[in-house]
Amino acid sequence: MQALQVLSLTLLSVLAASAQTFVSGKCPNPPVQANFNVARYLGRWYEIEKLPAIFQKGECGQATYSLKSPGAVAVLNEELLVDGRVNGVTGTAKVKDPAEPAKLEVSFFENQPPGPYWVLSTDYDNYTLVYACTNYFNLYHVEFSWILSRERTLSADTMEELRSILRSHNVSVDKLQVTDQSDCSSMPE
């Protein structure tokens, strides 16, 4: 048991240093978008706010979803790095359980297990709220969340509504980071 505690503390330290959002206890299980329609969700979404993630370092974040094959969605995540280069990663999202189509699993690398991508709320035309959480040793969990928009901005009222959903599930909205979408002319359209 002592080795597990040392490993857990070491991992927590690494996550804290990398600005990940980790919380004690198990992941919450928030409800997801009812009657989720993958076809309406496809297209480009711009990142407005996010919980910090070690794998996201740039600004102008955007995600493009397209139908890859029946039951599989191609994912292209892109961001603008400080040096002006566009950084991108491709992956595949699949519905884990047809009874809950808003609970997707996404993978970006062959040898990596898929991670959760839960659509908590979307109107398909303006906004979407995405949440992901992974448990570690049933002692703590790492959270990710993204507020995305079809445009590079989103109204203050909509932002507050989406933050309220996160707060209702004990997700720390004070850790959300605004994504700069103001100078994104070198990003693909």
- Residue 9 pLDDT: 37
Residue 120: predicted pLDDT: 98
Q: Do the domain assignments include residue 188?
A: no
In this structure, what are the phi and psi dihedrals at residue 185, rounded to the nearest 5 degrees? -65, -25
Flag whether 189 is in a domain. Answer: no
The encoded tokens of residue 85 equal: 């280069």
Residue 187 counted as domain residue:
no
pLDDT of residue 137: 87
Contact 104, 119 (CB under 8 A): yes
The radius of gyration computed from the CA coordinates of the chain, to the nearest angstrom, equals: 17
Residue entry with tokens 């979404």:
45
Structure tokens at 4: 């597990």
24 is a domain residue: yes
Residue 64 near residue 90 (C-beta atoms within 8 A):
no
Please report, in tens digits, the pLDDT of each residue of the chain (189 residues total).
444 343 343 343 344 434 567 788 999 999 999 999 999 999 999 999 999 888 888 999 999 999 998 889 999 999 999 999 999 999 999 998 999 999 999 999 888 889 999 999 999 999 999 999 999 988 899 999 999 999 999 999 999 999 999 999 989 899 999 999 999 998 988
* Res 112: pLDDT: 83
Q: How many CB atoms lie within 10 A of CB 47?
A: 26
CATH number at residue 20: 2.40.128.20
| Separation between Cα atoms, residue 70 and residue 58, nearest integer Å | 32
CB-based contact 8:140 (threshold 8 Å): yes
Domain residue limits at 138 = 2-178
Q: What pLDDT score was predicted for residue 18?
A: 44
pTM: 0.87
Q: Compute the distance between CA of residue 66 and CA of residue 124 in angstroms, rounded to an integer.
A: 14
In a domain, 151, yes or no: yes
Q: How many domains does the chain have?
A: 1
Indicate whether 186 belongs to any domain. Answer: no
**Residue for token digits 């997707």?**
104
**Closest to 133 (Cα-Cα) out of 44, 41, 23:** 23
Task: Report the alpha-carbon distance of residue 41 to residue 25 in Å, rounded.
Answer: 32
What is the distance between the alpha carbons of residues 44 and 48, in angstroms, rounded to a whole number? 13
184 belongs to a structural domain: no
Q: Let me know if residue 172 belongs to a domain.
A: yes
